[in-house]
Amino acid sequence: MINGVELLLAGLAALGAGLVNALAGGGTLITFPTLTALGLPAVVANVTNTVALSPGYLGATLAQSKDLRGQESRLRWALPAGVVGGIAGGLLLLNTGEKLFRDLVPFLILLASALLALQDPLRAWLTRRAQSGEGRHLPEAAAALPLSLAAVYGGYFGAGLSVIVLAILGLTLEDTLTRLNGLKQAVAFSVNIAAALFFVFSGKVVWLVALVMMVGALLGGALGGRLAGRIRPSTLRWVVVSIGVAVSAIYFID
């Protein structure tokens, strides 16, 4: 049974995650370990975390909606790929035994930390690629298959998904980094909302914790928006990466 102090800690972790997600990404690396530290089983913690943080993706997508103008044809294949993959990942998670998932957790956190660390180099590479005018040789809709596979990971664990999606879009689409970022955000939203809605009916959501975290995450996102420009995202990102690596080491030892 979660007590008041533990609820406060979960809410503060979500506040930090919302702020981090608004500025740099990687908020799950804060909230998921907090929930398991509070005694929630790993699968329950992951399900609750996905549901709690999902509203934040809506806000981020709306904030970048102007970058989606003219990309309606892409959304027609990208969003279904995200939804199908997100549900498949959620189904896979719910059919993973608690012990097996707990054993996978340190590897998943380490992977997410590595993806987050690669975000800035990936953006720089995509910018150079766009400036070079290097063409793509496949139809744009061919990206739907790798996107759906990435979405499976997103529905299963999620941290670092945006980096994978941006890499896929950058390799398959000819466009500016700003517009690709907008499309990436829409795909991440579709994955997380699909998985969250699937989890709502799983019976594994700790609703009191999830609701408190939703409030914290939304407040954190609003705070992050106000702090944009005052905090260097790369610095914050490396702090989160360091936290992720440390947490992964703790899980390995535990």
Rounded mean pLDDT, 67-74: 85
In this prediction, residue 130 has a pLDDT band, given cuts at 50, 70 and 90, of: low
Measured distance CA(248)–CA(228) in Å, rounded: 28
Dig out the tokens for 183 from the structure.
């499309």
Rounded mean pLDDT, 155-166: 84
Per-residue pLDDT of 161-186, as tens digits, reads: 888 888 888 888 877 877 888 888 88
Please tell me the total number of residues recorded for the chain in this structure. 254
Alpha helices in 24-160 (DSSP H): 28-37, 42-63, 72-94, 98-117, 119-132, 144-156
Distances from the Cα of 105 to the Cα of 17, 23, 131, angstroms: 18, 25, 39
What is the longest distance spanned by two Cα atoms in the chain? 57
Residue 87 has pLDDT above 70, yes or no: yes
* 228 phi, psi to nearest 5 deg: -55, 130
- Give the SS3 label for residue 27: coil
Find the helix or strand (DSSP H, E) in which 253 lies.
Answer: helix 233-253
Residue 59 has pLDDT above 80, yes or no: no
- What integer pLDDT is reported at residue 194 of this predicted model? 94
Three state DSSP letters for 191-230: HHHHHHHHHHCCCCCCHHHHHHHHHHHHHHHHHHHHHECC
Of 197, 143, 210, the closest CA to residue 170 belongs to: 143
What is the CA angle 167-172-175, rounded to 5? 90
In this prediction, residue 47 has a pLDDT band, given cuts at 50, 70 and 90, of: very high
Single pTM value for the model: 0.84
Measured distance CA(91)–CA(79) in Å, rounded: 18
